[in-house]
Amino acid sequence: MEKTPSHKNKSSHCGKIISVRGSVVDVWFENNLPSIYTVLHTGKDKQVILEVLTQLDVNRVRSIALTPTQGLARGMEVETTGEQLTIPVGKEIMGRMFDVFGKTIDKKPPIKATEWRSIHQVPPQLSKRLTKSAIFVTGIKAIDVLIPMELGGKSGLFGGAGVGKTVLLTEMIHNMVLHNKGVSMFCGIGERCREGNELYHDMQEADVLKNMVMMFGQMNEPPGARFRVGHAALTMAEYFRDDEHRDVLLLIDNIFRFIQAGMEVSGLMGQMPSRLGYQPTLGTELSKLEERIANTDAGAITSIQAVYVPADDLTDPAAVHTFSHLSASIVLSRKRASEGLYPAIDLLQSNSKMATPSIIGERHYNLAREIRQTLEQYENLKDIIAMLGLEQLSLEDRNIVNRARRLERFLTQPFFTTEKFSGIKGKNVSLKDTLDGCERILSDEFKELPESTFYMIGTIDEALERHNEKSNKNGINIHESENSPSI
């Protein structure tokens, strides 16, 4: 079994267990009381790992277990080298999967890392942060136009099972690696082992695993391990940003489970709960994690975080504290997924703080507003169309419906990571091409083209090519091919 260097060839001093209450272990030391966050080793072969959270008095510390505590008993010897929990960093970690202790869990040979770093790092200083907001271009049309993401910012991804959340994350990893020469980092907090296994093999098949690092704190692990896996993943991401000066895409699934693990730890430590049972230190603990995700003069860590909202209550403390850190919210819709409109992003529910003229420019801002307005008007007309039919609408309203339906289809996109399932070659579209396409649709330039020609294409020119090919094949004139849009 791999061991971290903190337990090898170091001068250590010993204590003994005086109390075991589930995951909470109290340890007595004669002298040299360990400091906060120090790692302790105990149990058979010193395989049980504890982390000091509180100094009770001059001889006692209270610690939380990061591994199961079966077999522990009072009087057992505890060893410590006085070091914090460390994980490996460096080029050797690329393409590998780790647990919170930096041990590989992908059944491949152990890595030979030259450097191990503490997971408890301070956020970058304000003087090193870039104050100018920049856009993180994903190559995905719907996101780049309507929900621009911030480079070095944090975006929330809201979606249930089966709406394409993992596919969207996988595509972002692919585009990051392919075009930005960046590093992708996936952090699973409280993940089911099935989800981690599926994601690992999906990444392997999509040929993006070699440029990413994966770290998991699984659902069955003690709350202490789930609470620390986010910090461990961030330490790896910070290495690529600060030492190698590369941009990092950090995917966290699920940030609510980090808060949940903190709540369990707080309860075990005997702290008085706050509102709705959450820990009183919720805001501080979340900020310690989120503030390390930043855009500095060395590089940027851009984070996309899956966010679970308890009982769909947006006033829940976990949701409120998370929202305050996010610069963009991407909402996935099951209704759009059922209509085959992938990526299934609800374009009206999603929003971004970056969508201001001073950041994205006047033209982009005005186009995004016009697109939203058109889609919203179409949404309001749907009930009338369902009851009375499209023919009962005024000419102006019919034009709005035509534009909106073409925009909806133009903002679908074939992904590189789904080529083997769909048989359609993946497309990566520049922001300029996307804006040009939307502008031309809004100006009714393609009014005569059927809606189907806009579905699952890259640039707008592909719609013309597809239509011309179909026309030549069937011998149909462009003006005769218009079909009345249906709801």
Exactly one of 141, 165, 228, 405 is catalytic; which is it? 165
Q: Which of 211, 163, 206 lies closest to 186 in space, CA to CA? A: 211
Q: Which amino acid is at 370?
A: E
What CA–CA distances, in Å, run from 281 to 125, 265, 451? 23, 11, 53
Q: Which residue carries 């008095």 as its tokens?
A: 57
Specify whether 372 is catalytic: no
Exactly one of 10, 21, 192, 363 is catalytic; which is it? 192
Is the bond preceding 450 in cis, omega lying within 30 degrees of 0?
A: no
Q: Is 13 exposed, middle or buried (0-12, 13-18, 19+ CB in 10 A)?
A: middle
Torsion angles phi and psi, residue 442, rounded to 5: -65, -25
Up-side HSE of residue 339: CA atoms within 13 Å toward CB? 18
Task: Please say whether the beta carbons of 251 and 187 come within 8 A.
Answer: yes
Specify whether 226 is catalytic: no
Specify whether 181 is catalytic: no
Counts of helices then strands in the chain (DSSP H, E): 14, 18
Q: Which amino acid is at 387?
A: M
Tokens of 463: 């719609």
Maximum CA extent, the chain: 93
Exactly one of 191, 221, 238, 408 is catalytic; which is it? 191
Element (H, E) at 6: none
- How far apart are the C-alpha atoms of 254 and 288, rounded to whole Å? 16
Q: Which of 230, 166, 159, 185 lies closest to 94 in space, CA to CA? A: 185
DSSP SS3 for 146: helix
Please name the residues in contact with 303: beta carbons below 8 A apart, sequence gap of 6 or more. Answer: 153, 154, 155, 249, 250, 251, 252, 293
The residues pairing with 345 across neighbouring beta strands, listed in sequence order, are: 332
Catalytic residues: 165, 191-192
